[in-house]
Homo-oligomer: A and B are copies of this chain.
Amino acid sequence: MYVKDLKWTPGISVKDLVNDFSSLGYQSTELAKAAEVFVKMKKNSAKIFLTFTSNMVTSGLRGFFAQLIKLRMADIIVTTVGGIEEDIMKASGEKFLVGKFSDDDVELHEKGINRIGNLLVKNESYMNFEDLINPVLKKLYEKQKMWTISEMLKEIGLTLNDENSILYQAARNDVPIFCPAITDGAFGFHLYLFQQKHSDFIVDVVKDFGNILFSTTHDDAKGVIALGGSISKHHAILCTLLNGGANYAVYMTTAHKTSGSMSGATTDEAKSWGKVNDESDVATVIGDVTIMFPLAMMKALEDLKVEGLI
């Protein structure tokens, strides 16, 4: 394909701009390719693993993730516990603020505000979370003593009343949410306090590994959309590998492969799984997910809509 000169036309749509990206060069071309891989995944009825880190749920991507679950663009979710907490907080009316990367942390601390990049969360929101989660744990415990995370998150999702909530949409669309490190957050602390009072209350992470393992099969076509790195990305790759490897993979990250980290691992490796048919089934996009993901995914949604697939 030849490089084409980009031109602005008044009223240009996201679809047309991403289309232009394919012949523009560098990461824009990779981004356009990612959109194509998204379309392929859906067309070929792949089981789609969507993974993201909690900072993306802090951002407004949260509502977009919920919409994608509703649109059946994700069959299995893997995330970190902060994302779970903040989705629940937002579903119960908490508001987060847009601040600045350069905000003074000492000053913010005095005001009882936490900073995540250029976003701000009040301590109060975390305290409200405490008031909110305890009655939920009680109800769960009354039902049974032993829980896997994914089952627990489904129950919580069913109690929420917010169309923009990831847990709400996942619960209603039978999309399991896995969180392999559930104790790594305020949620973990509350689970601990609850267990102190109810010593037979058990969170069974080993059983939940079986749940994600059997959420797909060797025979399924499988796709991984990994946004950011961390264990959420690793967990989806692990579980598709144990099922013979994914057929499609899109990784979006700001990390680079040069340090050997999972966050920076590219889709090159995916080619070694033996299920990827060719280069056009994988894409690695380097850049901030808040920009890269909406662009590529919205382009894919437009194309899938034309074909009547969403």
Contact = CB atoms under 8 A, between A and B. Distances in A.
Contact of A100 (B90, B108, B183, B279): B279
Interface residues of A, number: 122
A97 B261 contact: no
A255 B53 CA distance: 14
Interface stretch (A7-15, A35-43, A127-135): A7-15
Contacts of A7: 63-64, 67, 164
Interface in A78-124: 80, 82, 90, 95-98, 100-102, 105-106, 108-109, 115-119
B288 A117 contact: no
A297 B229 CA distance: 27
A257 B183 contact: no
A287 B20 CA distance: 18
B256 A23 contact: no
A217 interface: no
B234 A184 contact: yes
Given A13-B14, A14-B13, A228 B261 contact: yes
A86 B64 CA distance: 38
Contacts of A97: 1-3
Given A209-B183, A263-B255, A268-B105, A27 B192 contact: no
Contact of A28 (B3, B14, B288): B288
9 contacts: A3-B97, A5-B66, A8-B301, A25-B60, A28-B288, A101-B258, A185-B234, A203-B206, A230-B231
The 6 closest A-B pairs by CB, nearest first: A5-B63, A117-B260, A25-B59, A109-B272, A27-B288, A181-B181
Interface of A: 1-8, 10-15, 17, 20-31, 53-55, 58-64, 66-67, 80, 82, 90, 95-98, 100-102, 105-106, 108-109, 115-119, 164, 180-185, 188-189, 191-192, 195-196, 201-210, 213, 228-231, 234-235, 238, 242, 254-264, 268-269, 271-274, 279, 286-292, 294-295, 297-298, 301-302, 305
